Amino acid sequence: MSTTSTQSGSKAKLPPRVTESLVNRLTAMVTAGTAGEAREPFEMTEVYTGDVVGYLPQSSPEDVKAAAEIARAAQREWAARPLADRLAVFERAHELILSEIETLADLIQIGCGKARRMAIEEACDTPMVIAHYLKTAKKTLKPKKRSGPMPVITTSTEEHRPKGVVAVIAPWNFPFAISMSDSTPALIAGNGVIMKPDNKTALCTLYGIELLHKAGLPRGLVQVVCGGGPDVGPTLIDSVDFVMFTGSTATGRTIGEQAGRNLIGCSLELGGKNPMIVLDDVNLDEAIPSAIFAVFGNTGQACMHIERIYVHERIYDEYLRRFAAAAEELGKTLGASYDFEPEMGSLVSVDHMKRVAAHVDEAREKGATVVTGGKPRPDIGPAFFEPTVLTGVTKDMAHATQETFGPVVTIYKYSGVDEAVALANDTDYGLNASIWTGNIERATALAERLEAGAININDGFVTSYAAKGTPSGGVKQSGVGTRHGAAGLLKYTDTINVGVQKKQIMAARASMPYEKQLKSTLLTLRLMRRLHLG
Ligand code: NAD
């Protein structure tokens, strides 16, 4: 264990790879103090202990403007490079991230408190996204020649040009994966990026950018600004050409409003209140462990994780008994360590733990049953909370409709599939839904009736999220736009339509009366339709 130097508070004993000089080098990458006057830095703490890790500079609106100017200048040179050169940087970055996975996991854990296996899985997301775009970007970004309104005589070419500078605003729950994986296609498309990580979890993002620099990314092209969202957000959105935001629905609405006023595009990946429907033909030996991960993975702090499980009445009792027993077993593995021992880690902060506890306490007070869990675990660390299973939750309880975003789930009973569909869809959100059954055809038919941007059959959320070739995003109040796939790259470009007329035949001919021209136009349109032209 190494000890970082601090200005105040207890010094955190961190994994040996995370030295004081590493923390200082990373925090020095934040664009801050450009106008001379430095703001009070943010005190970063280790979630497991609350001990101080280091001090993160905070950016002022002037710093954000300065960052945008630097990124804009670097972007012109970057966009002028052949795509193959830009991809070569990411080919190297892919390997660098994999070779540095342990340090990345350390930094993710320090800021988030999640279990190590989740930190490793998170760090693997970015190489997966890189690999996908290394394979597909050339084809997706290649200009596409299409026929024009008059075959042969005219053509139209679809071109994709980088938007310019993109803001990538990331939350704390997957701080490395979201900031780096969303920046990857933006950079490959030829944009500059200004990243705004959450203060608590900025170190892993900064380390990722250092790896991109090692891979050959020009310095200046990616800028990092840090600070309270409402403090740096408005200037950031005023300084860029596109916003990629991941976070809560409330903040997404604010960001979407400002982007709309500025007439720039935005992609908003927001919250969820995700249901799982368990049909009566399910294999419980497979369904229970998978559901346990879908609910409690990342300590329940995943936008796509499951907070509502609807189980057919025929198997409800057995499902509840076995699920609760498995949750109780999981609770025994809670731990604060940088090895693979604990299966579940901490919540991100004491404040967030209190919010999760408040949802459980309110449900209990209003009559819900806490089948297992339901309590903080200060004996392990300041923000630990037990895996919790509730029943008897009703709509007057916050946990019934709001995102709890912690290791808490309610198990409900249903008697018919129509009822299950109605209950699953009874939410303003539409991020993810899961169906469990022994019959894929039944599930596919059911999936068509669910209102969610991702639907996972016989899985909680990983299958759809890890399919990097398929665009993925929320519907209803869970988002606007998608990430991954061709759409996840093209959103960072402007589509330009270049039309060419090789011979002047479309303009009206002065010598011909208009009635005659009309007849000839209608004839041409009918002919083109018959010949499937146009
Ligand atoms: P949040 O909305 O509070 O903050 C997200 C980011 O936005 C942070 O970096 C924050 O500093 C910044 N921010 C806040 N106000 C801002 C403003 N006015 N302008 C610009 N930036 C601002 O969300 P959070 O609590 O950090 O994250 C948890 C939420 O994120 C949950 O609702 C979760 O479901 C959602 N989430 C969604 C996805 C997805 O892909 N759909 C993925 C992960 C998390």
Digit-coded pLDDT (tens) for 175-201: 999 999 999 999 999 999 999 999 999
What's the gap in Å between 247 CA and the centre of ligand 1?
2
- Concatenating the DSSP letter of every residue in 98-136 gives HHTHHHHHHHHHHHH---HHHHHHHHHHHHHHHHHHHHH
Average pLDDT over residues 514-526: 91
**For ligand 1, atom 10: residue with the closest CA:** 229
pLDDT score recorded for residue 36 = 80
What's the gap in Å between 171 CA and the centre of ligand 1?
4
Q: Is 479 near ligand 1, meaning CB less than 6 Å away?
A: yes
Provide the token pair at 215. 């891979």
Q: Is 404 near ligand 1, meaning CB less than 6 Å away?
A: no
Every domain of the chain and the residues it spans: 2-140+161-269, 274-480
- Concatenating the DSSP letter of every residue in 473-498 gives ---GGGEES-BSHHHHHHTTEEEEEE
Average pLDDT over residues 384-410: 98
Q: Is domain 2-140+161-269 in CATH 3.40.605.10, yes or no?
A: yes
Report helix, strand and coil shares of the chain as percent, to nearest 5. Answer: 45, 20, 35
**Residue 352 alpha carbon, nearest atom of ligand 1:** 25
- CB burial of residue 522 (10 Å; 0-12, 13-18, 19+): exposed
Q: Which amino acid is at 136?
A: T
Q: Is 460 helix (H, G, I), strand (E, B) or coil?
A: coil
- Residue 6: pLDDT over 50: no
Q: Which CATH superfamily hosts domain 274-480?
A: Aldehyde Dehydrogenase; Chain A, domain 2 (3.40.309.10)
Digit-coded pLDDT (tens) for 270-317: 999 999 999 999 999 999 999 999 999 999 999 999 999 999 999 999
- Residue 5: pLDDT over 90: no
**Residue 227 alpha carbon, nearest atom of ligand 1:** 11
Q: Please give the model's pTM, rounded to 2 decimal places.
A: 0.96
pLDDT score recorded for residue 147 = 87
Averaged confidence pLDDT in the chain: 96
CA quadruple 181, 186, 192, 193: dihedral positive or negative?
negative
